[in-house]
Structure 1
Amino acid sequence: MHKISWIGAFLLINNMVIAQVGKEVPQKVERKTVDTRSRHSAAVEPLSPQKLWELGRVSGEGLSADGTQLIYGVSNYQFDDNKSEKNLYVIPVKGGTPVQFTTEAGSESVLKVDGDQVLYMFKGQLWKKSLKDGNATQVTNYEGGLENVKISPDGKHILFSKQVLLKPYYSQDKYKDLTKSNVYIYDNLDYRHWDTWNDGKFNHPFVATYADGQIGEAKDILGEEPYYSPTMPFGGAEDFTWSPDGKAVFYVCKKKFGKDYALSTNTDIYRYDLSSGETTNVTEGMMGYDNSPAFSPNGKLFTWLSMKTDGYEADKNDVILLDPQTNTKLNLTAHWDGTVNAFTWSKDNKKIYFVAPSEGTVQLFEILVPTNLKNRALPIINQISSGDFDITGIVGETKDGLVVTSTKMTRAAEVFLYSFKDKNLKAITTVNDQLYSTVAATKVESRVTKATDGLDLFSWVIYPPDFDPANKYPTLLFCQGGPQSATTQSYSFRWNFQLLASQGYIVIAPNRRGMPGWGVKWNEQISKDWGGQSIRDYLSAIDDLSKEPYVDKDRIAAVGASYGGYSVFQLAGVHEGRFKSFISHCGLFDMKSWYGTTEELFFANHDLGGPYWDKANAKTYTEFNPSTMVEKWNTPILIFQGGKDYRVPIGQGLEAFQAAQLRGVKSRLVYLPDENHWVLSGHNAQVWQREFFGWLSETLK
């Protein structure tokens, strides 16, 4: 389950070809069963788990003041040390030879570019370095370090966050004399979140005077209030912004505590006046998530992202525009059938660019900002990019286009220039080109199936290297998590479709009900219907693909994590022999015990309907509860479970494994005590991949 959800767009991708693969296959070709361990030349080999982690992870960090140079980051994983090292590089936006900008051991992140000076964070302090010479200077030496830093526009103040101890939940804080105790004591909910137990410390924003790296006495904007800002668990510097005149701070906060905090998504954006100390709620009466505050470049208009419904984390995400002078507010995307991931202003203040899911991809859009908000005219929204790729972020704008990060299912993120003139992407960075030149290509195609309710169901199909339709291949049905997360042209370092296909498997990844990119109604349909149409969509997709003669129907598996793991558990009870193997990672197995142990109860209340003791939710806890169908389990199942996963706590994986064992079903538990809902350690990820593919080799013989 994710904090920020991605909801669908209705605009068509004009160049998308809906391919019905396999039509060209002759009727009387003799078919062979193919071993998943395909052979290739020494120069070009299938992608392996280790090679996947040898890829550089590229981030767009910023542009020079004149827009001619890109500063980007590359993180490289070091197997011996089991950690990543990130450095910054500089390259002309028009292309050229990159120059390494930082070399220190650690991770640097750009804060801002002022003239030719790059201000960046390194080991909790501010550093600066000129784009013209090689001298780096440490700017601050603040005790305890700085996090989520924002410098005021006039350079006179600094905004940052740090933790403040406000509640004596931990025994050593409550009982000062018991220094060797290790106990947590709670009287309310929010006792743990994501992968961390609440120790009574809360993230708070601080503001202080700032001059020549010297930070004055810092003031806690929230004081003694037990609230989080940045928001938990994933909020960062994007939760903060300064007013254009540097006289006020805007910050995101959910001003709720305990049970109220666990039941609500109602974050608001607050304005804190530096001179008076007064706080104003800018989004008063807006009841869902409000975040990502930002001013237009000329400082005249204020924008943010907003969801309407309290408790609905996957609600439609809209761009809101406010004219502070007239206090006129306008929802710029209310009339558009989609959801916004992130946005940025154009330099000329006339447009807002945003990225959003669109029919199996994530694309660029633009809003033409109205000149008169009081007219309440609906702004024009255009999709400006299209193709089989994802736009994963906007780095900045040049006179020629937008600098963006982009991925494909077969390519990790790189930085590109999206040209305003020809509407194409041109690569700026090529960090991983050399490694990919040694990787055997995997073909990706789209496919449309008729769902059981007659609607079109889109899927991505990924084929093994050297795919030959005259052969038969084992096939994997990928079940996406979320549940309102998109299956697009993203590139994962765990659920990597290129890696799966490179081991000799055909992979089908349906855009089943609940995924953004296909309109708000499609996205909302999964709520309170987890085991219904979305599960039927999965079965429709795999049944349709299984009609192809190159699919070995005796070697089909279903795999997935989170809601995808739930889907695997649910399919295990209803698949009627379709699958020969299952793999579930951190999946929900028993909805009653899950409701009683998960932390963000707003999610459970909205998507499941509410608690199990409310009879109105009976279907959720019976027909749509995988644990009630264990008597039908008869297929091998591998279960991964993270020990620090508090979204889908450890009991879910243990219960499922114990049930399978007691039922006499071939099963295996892979317990990752130091991992949360994901797998973040490189060595642990290698174990994960080896167990994953080892299990498939055992069970899809």
Structure 2
Amino acid sequence: MRDEARFTAETLISLPRFSGLALSRDGGRLVAAVARPDRKRRHLVTALFELEDGGPPRRITRSARGEGAAAFSPDGSLLFVSRRPDPEEAGEEDGGERPALWLLPPGGEAYPLASPPGGVEGFAVARESGDLVIAAPARPGAAGWKEDAEWEKARREAGVEASLFEGYPVRFWDRYLGPRERRLYISPLPGEGGRIEEPRELLSGPPGSLALSSFDITPDGSTVVATRWSDPEDVAGRVMELVAVDAASGGVRTLAGDAWYSSPRCSPDGRRVVAVREERSGPGRPGDRSLWAFDLRTGEGREILEGFDLWPEAPAWSSDSRSVLFIASCDGRAPVFRAPAEGGPAERLTGEGSFSDLCPAPEGGTVYALRSGVGEPPHPVALDAREPGGEPRRLGSFPELERLRLPARVERVEARARDGARVPSWLVLPPGASSERPAPLSVLIHGGPLNSWDGWHWRWNPHVFADDGWAVLLPDPALSTGYGLEHIRRGWGRWGEVVYDDLMRAAEQAAQRPEVDGERAAALGGSFGGYMVNWIAGHTRRFRALVAHASLWDLEGFHGTSDLGTWWEREFGNPYEDPSRYRANSPRPSAPRIKTPVLVVHGEKDFRVPVSEALALWTALKRHGVEAKFLHFPDENHWVVKPNNSLLWYRTVLAFIDHHARGRAWERPELL
């Protein structure tokens, strides 16, 4: 029997993972995606569950490949995306390999609704008319899905896998954006048992223009609002513009092309769309982020947040279209806020906790959401929007989550930066830590860098480290979100100067705690956090062990190999004209000064921070005689998510820092 007072990596990966809430039009059904490891713990498999107030979640889909991205049609049918094979085409070549759009009617069996040859990358459904917008890639110039499928068959028979790119980027996250290019299609929802074979193409554009687009459709299906690159050829100066497309004629109007727009959401009355707007940034000046609402008839837009110094995300309309709910990182939490659609001060609706997946109910008072925190994994709740600050009502969940009691103690601590600014952190203390038995210190540095330790973390979970006896510091230095634009501006373009100093001051403040042994200390981080570990390696010997996961090493080279390398020009400028900022902030020149043992971790499929960064770092460490190890995952990307790989990650990382910081014997994890 498992010890309920323990929280190991095995405990972590066994927990159900909630995501993707969807609420039916009448508010009577609430569905969530829940991921669990498969029997051999090789993959996380997601299934859809219906949630109820009184009982545990009820599973409503089941397949080896899993389901997700759920939404309801007007008649109560559940739409979702899955790679499961079509039961009517069993044995067909490549069946089930690509994500298709499925429909589960009330009381019926699920069947594939749309199966484009390039797979479904996203969809939106009009809440009244049922019209569907489907994002799917297709061959440039293909007249329809049938022609696209014939072209694919010809390529397969010829053994051709090559792609010819004309736009930028050519890859994103862990996949190449070819040989097809993304388009938006529209179709009415077919009758019972009907399928979408050849939908009408609604929006395409120059190569790469829709690669990262997001979209929504008005309730009556008359207008589709989408984002797209403003000028695909200007890869450094372009923005993500917001356009409205007339569903009947295909006519396109640009609502805004002056900033980076994302997450468009159409109001229930169909009159407006709200979107997140991020200003253009430049070296020395980070752009601010806000919410803008646009009148779909006149095209007029305006900011709706008055004097709001946090960064909004994931907007959702109230059922009466009079207000917009959203989430914003705020001092180590991610509360729910509400703002008038006509503009005005935002009102905070929740206290403790971090929220996501907002689903306002049609009756106007209830908002369903997922709630988490540094000390609690995500679980479904219901908020009463009429009582701001009230405690959310917890909905029925799984036994593992209901009985979970994390033994570590979570506290909020604070240090002061050189300029007097706050440097807040979470401190997670293991059971038994005291002045008589101080715990060694591990400093976990978040990625981003525009990010924050404001919720539960599946990949860098502090409670697994605390279970091993570590005191865990989760600092939010300059550049962290949730503390206003000035906190970001302090570290903008000064990673190796201001952010580094903030981190060291936070670590020293935690080390003074009587329950913490600051002499036995390790620093760990991923992505930007890994970059900071590499910077720390060449600038201090304060730590006994370092772990650099998916880390940046040579910023000048990284600009040309990352999937969105030109994105960094907004902070460091044009490297072809003036590379000084890249060089000044690059850890690479400090390689000869590194003496602390380093564990390098990287995934081969990582296109955000390519594995070449890890190889260059590894070469530098071995060239200079640094004690180091390299944990390489050929089947992972920027994140390590496969359950067995995650277990190996935690075991290797803990064994490494335990050995070098605590003097324990090195034990090579099994299977490595």
TM class by smaller structure = 0.7 to 0.9
**Against the structure 1 CA distance between its residues 152 and 342, is the aligned structure 2 distance closer, same or farther, given a 3 Å change threshold?**
closer
1:92 aligns with 2:67: no
Give the conservation status (yes or no) of the 8 Å contact 2:305–2:345. no
Give the conservation status (yes or no) of the 8 Å contact 1:555–1:580. yes
Aligned to 2:397: 430
| Structure 1 residues 240-255: aligned runs within 5 Å | 240-255=215-230
**Against the structure 1 CA distance between its residues 51 and 165, is the aligned structure 2 distance closer, same or farther, given a 3 Å change threshold?**
same
For 1:199 and 1:62, locate their aligned partners in 2 and report how far apart those are by CA, in whole Å.
31
For 1:53 and 1:400, locate their aligned partners in 2 and report how far apart those are by CA, in whole Å.
35
| Structure 1 residues 128-527: aligned runs within 5 Å | 128-130=104-106, 134-138=107-111, 140=113, 142=115, 144=117, 146-153=120-127, 155=129, 157-166=131-140, 179-180=158-159, 189-212=168-191, 213-215=194-196, 217-223=198-204, 225-229=206-210, 231-232=211-212, 239-257=214-232, 260-261=234-235, 263-264=236-237, 266-284=239-257, 286=258, 288-309=259-280, 315-333=287-305, 335-370=307-342, 379-387=344-352, 389-397=353-361, 398-419=363-384, 420-421=386-387, 423-431=390-398, 433-434=399-400, 437=403, 440-488=406-454, 490-527=455-492
Matched residue SS, 1:282: strand
**Displacement of 1:520:** 0.9
Q: Deviations over 1:208-242 (max 9, x none)?
A: 3443134364232345632343x43xx5xxx2222
Matched residue SS, 2:563: coil
**Displacement of 1:58:** 1.2
Give the conservation status (yes or no) of the 8 Å contact 2:169–2:208. no
TM-score by length of 1: 0.83
For 2:364 and 2:432, locate their aligned partners in 1 and report how far apart those are by CA, in whole Å.
42
For 1:221 and 1:65, locate their aligned partners in 2 and report how far apart those are by CA, in whole Å.
25
Amino acid at match of 1:275: A
Amino acid at match of 1:290: Y
Q: Deviations over 1:355-410 (max 9, x none)?
A: 1011111111110233xxxxxxx5121112122x2112312335542111111222
Matched residue SS, 1:470: coil
Q: Deviations over 1:50-102 (max 9, x none)?
A: 22111101125323444354222322112416123333222334x33443333
For 1:483 and 1:341, locate their aligned partners in 2 and report how far apart those are by CA, in whole Å.
16
**Displacement of 1:500:** 1.5
Q: Deviations over 1:263-322 (max 9, x none)?
A: 2451122222233332211214x2x21122222222222222211216799743211112
For 1:48 and 1:147, locate their aligned partners in 2 and report how far apart those are by CA, in whole Å.
35
Give the conservation status (yes or no) of the 8 Å contact 1:586–1:648. yes
Identify the match of residue 27 of structure 2 among 67, 73, 78: 67
Aligned to 1:38: none
**Against the structure 1 CA distance between its residues 80 and 272, is the aligned structure 2 distance closer, same or farther, given a 3 Å change threshold?**
same
For 1:294 and 1:149, locate their aligned partners in 2 and report how far apart those are by CA, in whole Å.
13
Q: Deviations over 1:548-587 (max 9, x none)?
A: 2332233101100111111001111222x31111000011
Amino acid at match of 1:673: P
Amino acid at match of 2:641: L
**Against the structure 1 CA distance between its residues 136 and 50, is the aligned structure 2 distance closer, same or farther, given a 3 Å change threshold?**
same
Aligned to 1:17: none
**Against the structure 1 CA distance between its residues 103 and 323, is the aligned structure 2 distance closer, same or farther, given a 3 Å change threshold?**
same
Give the conservation status (yes or no) of the 8 Å contact 1:78–1:84. yes
Identity percentage of aligned residues = 21
Amino acid at match of 2:124: K
Q: Deviations over 1:582-629 (max 9, x none)?
A: 000011112222223223133221222331x544x525403x221111
Give the conservation status (yes or no) of the 8 Å contact 1:157–1:207. yes
Q: Deviations over 1:645-683 (max 9, x none)?
A: 222222211121221112221101111222221112222
For 1:606 and 1:141, locate their aligned partners in 2 and report how far apart those are by CA, in whole Å.
39
**Against the structure 1 CA distance between its residues 215 and 599, is the aligned structure 2 distance closer, same or farther, given a 3 Å change threshold?**
closer
**Displacement of 1:638:** 0.5
**Which blocks of at least 5 consecutive residues in structure 1 are unaligned?**
1-40, 371-377
Amino acid at match of 1:423: G
Task: Calculate the aligned-residue CA RMSD, in Å.
Answer: 2.9
1:125 aligns with 2:91: no
**Displacement of 1:249:** 2.2
Of stretches 310-319 and 81-90 in structure 1, the one that deviates more from structure 2 is 310-319
Equivalent residue pairs, number: 629
**Against the structure 1 CA distance between its residues 278 and 355, is the aligned structure 2 distance closer, same or farther, given a 3 Å change threshold?**
same
**Against the structure 1 CA distance between its residues 673 and 183, is the aligned structure 2 distance closer, same or farther, given a 3 Å change threshold?**
same
Give the conservation status (yes or no) of the 8 Å contact 1:45–1:438. no
Give the conservation status (yes or no) of the 8 Å contact 1:164–1:204. yes
Give the conservation status (yes or no) of the 8 Å contact 1:60–1:415. no
Flag as ranges the 4+ runs of structure 1 deviating above 6 A. Answer: 175-178, 310-314
1:101 aligns with 2:69: no
For 1:250 and 1:651, locate their aligned partners in 2 and report how far apart those are by CA, in whole Å.
38
For 1:63 and 1:511, locate their aligned partners in 2 and report how far apart those are by CA, in whole Å.
34
Identify the match of residue 578 of structure 1 among 531, 536, 542: 542
Give the conservation status (yes or no) of the 8 Å contact 1:355–1:393. no
Identify the match of residue 524 of structure 2 among 535, 555, 559: 559
Amino acid at match of 1:271: A
**Against the structure 1 CA distance between its residues 352 and 440, is the aligned structure 2 distance closer, same or farther, given a 3 Å change threshold?**
closer
Give the conservation status (yes or no) of the 8 Å contact 1:252–1:270. yes
**Displacement of 1:522:** 0.9
1:642 aligns with 2:603: yes
**Against the structure 1 CA distance between its residues 254 and 455, is the aligned structure 2 distance closer, same or farther, given a 3 Å change threshold?**
same
**Which blocks of at least 5 consecutive residues in structure 2 are unaligned?**
84-99, 143-150, 664-672
